[in-house]
A and B are shown apart, each in its own frame.
Chain A
């Protein structure tokens, strides 16, 4: 069967910072390699509050209650419990709503759609995927090269059961031996983000293009929504996947890498252009992991 993905609601961190101002990195390098001139940081709201704000917006817009809620988040406010159940309570979701938390990064939204597609049926017709991440609280002020990449954001995306088959392919993988390339480590007693950008880069260009090429061989893809981690990464993946860059959307004109909300943001920005087209969604990152799907947009 199939899946309809509604236009996601997006919450971007309330403080907008210029990458050039905070880093002194040359404009050309920002444009050519990093991608975005701005990042968004959230100084006031925590994960629960960001998620509630964006989910409330989505509920008001779609006027429906989901049968399940998939919450994608790594940097929760507490180690446990997950914010998901409290969020469901605050949103007034039914007591028998199936609630599940996925601890995932930039692959998280696509993984959640893969799961949602398996949960949706004639009885469970509606689902809600909420992604929220606030990496800024884990990045050291002097770790400029990491700081300029990530934005704090949350997204809420309704999905709905569709009688007609429009979900064509799913393909995914992992590389756990390099999991320490992107992780939270104790630095001076505090939890801080540690990223080996080169390892993550090699992981991305060694794995993601193969999946994209495999799917593209079987179905003509009209548009590609590939996680815009950084411009150099996205450009390299596009080149290696033998895709026409015109078919690839990015969100660098808005903000930096919004982790699991990056693909919802791409959907939000281009929603009308996706209708009736074959769309490929691909996310990759923490794990290290990657997931790619192809669906006909309805």
Chain B
């Protein structure tokens, strides 16, 4: 199962900048629509498609909100 740290690594790689729990598209320059697609593609791969079933994920553009929804859907360790 994924961990919060792994999510931070995935997002950092996608936005090409180190992120933390306070990071979002508002304070990270590289977090644009392409980076967002990258995040979705990486999560889809690591969760074997489960994350892509979460429709709200398309709208989430902060580390905190992404972790929260994945926790709620039991896709990352608490």
Contact = CB atoms under 8 A, between A and B. Distances in A.
Same complex for A and B? Answer yes
B52 A202 contact: yes
B12 interface: no
B58 interface: yes
Could you say which of B33, B37, B40, B57 has the most chain A C-beta atoms within 10 Å of its C-beta?
B37
B44 interface: yes
A205 B41 CA distance: 9
B59 A145 contact: no
B32 interface: yes
A261 B19 CA distance: 40
Nearest to A239: B45
A236 B32 contact: no
A69 B58 CA distance: 38
Contacts of A206: 49, 52-53
Given A202-B40, A239-B45, A29 B34 contact: yes
Contacts of B52: 202, 205-206
Contacts of B34: 25, 29, 33-34, 145, 232
B35 to A, nearest CB: 9
Given A196-B58, A236-B44, A239-B45, A201 B53 contact: no
B49 A201 contact: no
B65 interface: no
Contact of B55 (A29, A202, A233, A235): A202
A contact residues, range: 20 to 34
Contacts of A230: 37
A150 B34 CA distance: 15
Contacts of B23: none
Contacts of A240: 44, 49
B19 to A, nearest CB: 18
Nearest to B45: A239
B37 A33 contact: yes
Contacts of A145: 32-34
A176 interface: no
Given A198-B33, A240-B49, A232 B38 contact: yes
A172 B4 CA distance: 37
B24 interface: no
Contacts of B45: 239
B62 interface: no
A199 interface: yes
Interface string A197-210: 11101100110000
Interface of B: 32-34, 36-38, 40-41, 44-45, 49, 52-53, 55, 57-59
Interface of A: 25, 29, 33-34, 145, 178, 196-199, 201-202, 205-206, 230, 232-233, 235-236, 239-240
